[in-house]
Amino acid sequence: MALTILHIGGSIAIALLLYPLITLTQNYLHVRPIGLPILLTPLGRLNPLWTITQPYLGPVFGWLSALGGPFQIFSFIEYSTNSWFFYSRYDLHLKHGPVFFIVSPGGTQLIVADAATADEIQTRRKDFLKNPKMY
């Protein structure tokens, strides 16, 4: 009996770890053919757990990322917080170009800093649907 509970618990833990990885991969493969730069983040801005823990873990991840070396893996924090665009301003666009994707397990965001492209997106609203969760 105890072994069965252990197997079930282990299976649930593995599923909880694999599901975000699978959805992140699917989202990445969906936008890769477009050819724009892609930034990956394991934490989507709308993830409820991340929303709760962000004020505490965000500064820690930022500090670790600033150390460089193997801690550079935490650099996703630059574009994973709820107010990243206020802090980074145009820095990410200087690194990655005027248009890029942010891909997370929860979805894909197209980030645009080019006036002509933004105008085209706004005039073709039916082609560029906004996630209803963002409203």
Tell me what the mean pLDDT of segment 91-113 comes to: 89
**Which residues, at least 6 apart from 128, have a Cβ–Cβ distance to it below 8 Å?**
110, 121
29-87 pLDDT tens trace: 999 999 999 999 988 877 888 889 888 988 888 888 888 888 888 888 888 887 777 77
Per-residue pLDDT at 94 exceeds 80: yes
**43 in Cβ contact with 80 (< 8 Å):** yes
User: From residue 37, how far is each of 32, 54, 82, 126, 127 by CA, in Å?
Assistant: 8, 25, 21, 23, 20
Confidence band of 3 (pLDDT split at 50, 70, 90): low
